[in-house]
Amino acid sequence: MINKSLKQLGAMLQAKEISSVELTQEYLNRIDRLNPEINAFITLDKDKTLAQAKNADAMLAAGKASAMTGLPIAQKDIFVAKGWRTTCGSKMLETFIGPYDADIIERFDSVGAVNLGKTNMDEFAMGSSNETSYFGKVQNPWDRSRVPGGSSGGSAAAVAARLCAAATGTDTGGSIRQPASLCGLSGLKPTYGLASRFGMIAFASSLDQSGPMAKSCEDMALMMNVITGFDKRDSTSLNREKEDYTRDLNKPLAGLKVGLPKEYFAEGLGADVATVVQEAIAEYKKLGAEIVDISLPNTMLSIPVYYVLAPAEASSNLSRFDGVRYGHRAKEYGDLMDMYCKSRAEGFGAEVKRRILIGTYVLSAGYYDAYYLKAQQIRRLIAQDFENAFKKCDIIMGPTAPSTAFKAGEKADDPVSMYLQDIYTIAVNLAGLPGMSIPAGFAQSADGKKLPVGLQIIGNYFDEARMLNAGHAYQQVTDWHIQMPEGIE
């Protein structure tokens, strides 16, 4: 049961072979049993969850159900949900209860999906290992001593341990794709502007985008149908006609031009990851894809550019947490300035403070031109790299992350090596393109554990249906995406 796809579970619900309440209870039982160690969830509220399941059963009984009705999914704790504690992984919001629903929450509610709980994450989505969360680290179900990736590490671990049928994530520089890669899942960051950012706590607004994390591309297509759509409450939401992302799933791949960027297969890529990715590409050749060599010459600049722009936007976005309106307020303070300082000093963790300091610095009068403006110019060049590449190919493939899951604590004191986890994903956000990671096989750890490796697929703007087609075709001839970690049965 727990390894079934959203589509299969949906069919069982429609055929009344199981009720949403029964299915939801099964996942809640698994969460009770496995979550105390894995720590994938920050907040659970069984009453709310089961009430939603009951409501879904009523929709099913009344013949008002659609593809996602009654399916239990987990929501990253970055999305404000009415009546639910919403922490964004921070002490700053430890006791904050959402006064309204984020657009994505509203959309899942309206189709009758069931919210199983709010998942753990790096504080304010800053991190690649889930270790910056105020609510503690998350275990990778494939090897409990390793990180699940981040920042959507709780969502990734929850899907990998089959604590939910699927989950949502957000991706500012790789936070859906890198944890998907490290936990053996499918994860998709849509084209910027396809999914509304309303009610999604802002990190770097020009980069942030929500998306699905699931077992398969077919499941992600169903979720994309829910997540995407115009929202007038988000000024960057795109007013386009709604698409059906399942429409091209079964198209043949013959003639598909796949570009391999030489910069993605260069120094820095782990040999074990490279081998698995090359094997996946060989499989695509068998499926009829044509491989072309391409170049994304500014790849190496994407991390320095991101670590100017993302902190700049974060320093501005996080200024709202001042201890006055909501969030943590220091217990003792002198004047107003002292209250701001103490509340922020106590409420934010070290990585968030580092980003605020960098961001404030690059935006300061004397350095704005040298850092912020320069980074914006290079951001344009990075987008042009992709524009040129897509003249030669339909989609781009390569590794998602340079390594498999690393040990908890291994990179905690080395921010630069942590930042390098996103070397292949960040440029996609800078360009606003869609990017996806799918399970492509396993590497072995020294002690014999299977460690998942992700294949990244990057598409041109609005080409999600084609990317899902490419991923689905591969998932029809491989079984990496349905393999489960040992010990989570």
Q: Where in the sequence numbering do the catalytic residues fall?
A: 76, 151, 175
| Residue 152 C-beta: closest distance to ligand GLN, Å | 8
Chain-centre distance for alpha carbon 154: 10
131 binds ligand GLN (CB under 6 A): no
Task: State how far the Cα of 242 lies from the Cα of 228, in Å rounded to an integer.
Answer: 7
Q: Which two tokens stand for residue 372?
A: 């912020």
Give the CB-nearest residue to ligand GLN: 175
Comparison of 6 and 182: residue with beta carbon closer to ligand GLN: 182
Phi, psi values for residue 366, rounded to 5°: -75, -20
Classify 409 in phi/psi space as left (phi over 0), alpha (psi -120 to 50) or beta.
left
402 binds ligand GLN (CB under 6 A): no
123 binds ligand GLN (CB under 6 A): no
Comparison of 171 and 464: residue with beta carbon closer to ligand GLN: 171
| Residue 420 C-beta: closest distance to ligand GLN, Å | 10
Place of tokens 């179900």: 141
Write out the binding residues for ligand GLN, residues 350-369 only, by CB under 6 A: none
| Residue 336 C-beta: closest distance to ligand GLN, Å | 31
120 binds ligand GLN (CB under 6 A): no
Comparison of 101 and 171: residue with beta carbon closer to ligand GLN: 171
| Residue 419 C-beta: closest distance to ligand GLN, Å | 7
Q: Which two tokens stand for residue 12?
A: 């069982």
Phi, psi values for residue 400, rounded to 5°: -85, -45
Task: State how far the Cα of 55 lies from the Cα of 58, in Å rounded to an integer.
Answer: 5
* 2-10, 109-117, 165-173, 275-283 -> range binding ligand GLN (CB under 6 A): 165-173
Task: Specify whether the CB–CB gap between 295 and 262 falls below 8 A.
Answer: yes
| Residue 182 C-beta: closest distance to ligand GLN, Å | 12
Chain-centre distance for alpha carbon 287: 28
171 binds ligand GLN (CB under 6 A): yes
* 17-25, 124-132, 381-389, 433-441 -> range binding ligand GLN (CB under 6 A): 124-132
151 binds ligand GLN (CB under 6 A): yes
Task: State how far the Cα of 113 lies from the Cα of 49, in Å rounded to an integer.
Answer: 10
Task: Specify whether the CB–CB gap between 105 and 115 falls below 8 A.
Answer: yes
Comparison of 91 and 354: residue with beta carbon closer to ligand GLN: 354
Task: State how far the Cα of 224 lies from the Cα of 210, in Å rounded to an integer.
Answer: 10
Identify whether 151 is preceded by a cis peptide bond (ω within 30 of 0).
yes
Binder among 101, 143, 394, 422 for ligand GLN (CB under 6 A): 422
Task: State how far the Cα of 49 lies from the Cα of 175, in Å rounded to an integer.
Answer: 26
Comparison of 358 and 473: residue with beta carbon closer to ligand GLN: 358
Binder among 19, 119, 172, 196 for ligand GLN (CB under 6 A): 172
Comparison of 291 and 363: residue with beta carbon closer to ligand GLN: 363
128 binds ligand GLN (CB under 6 A): yes
Write out the binding residues for ligand GLN, residues 186-205 only, by CB under 6 A: 203
| Residue 394 C-beta: closest distance to ligand GLN, Å | 25
289: how many CB neighbours lie within 10 A of its CB? Answer: 23
Q: Which two tokens stand for residue 323?
A: 């201890």
Task: State how far the Cα of 69 lies from the Cα of 64, in Å rounded to an integer.
Answer: 9
User: For the chain, how are helix, strand and coil distributed in percent, rounded to 5?
Assistant: 40, 15, 45
Site string for ligand GLN, 225-244 (x = CB under 6 A): --------------------
Closest CA to 179 of 198, 203, 158, 200: 158
Comparison of 38 and 121: residue with beta carbon closer to ligand GLN: 121
Binder among 188, 195, 310, 443 for ligand GLN (CB under 6 A): 310
Comparison of 172 and 191: residue with beta carbon closer to ligand GLN: 172
175 binds ligand GLN (CB under 6 A): yes
Residue count, binding to ligand GLN (CB under 6 A): 13
Q: Which two tokens stand for residue 16?
A: 């009344």
Classify 448 in phi/psi space as left (phi over 0), alpha (psi -120 to 50) or beta.
left
Alpha helix segments (H runs only) across 111-244: 153-160, 177-183, 217-227
400 binds ligand GLN (CB under 6 A): no
Q: Which two tokens stand for residue 315?
A: 């320093």
Cβ-in-10-Å burial (0-12, 13-18, 19+) of 280 comes to: buried
317 binds ligand GLN (CB under 6 A): no
In one letter, which amino acid is 57? Answer: D
173 binds ligand GLN (CB under 6 A): yes
| Residue 204 C-beta: closest distance to ligand GLN, Å | 8
* 120-128, 221-229, 233-241, 377-385 -> range binding ligand GLN (CB under 6 A): 120-128
- Contact residues for ligand GLN, defined by CB under 6 A: 125-128, 151, 171-175, 203, 310, 422
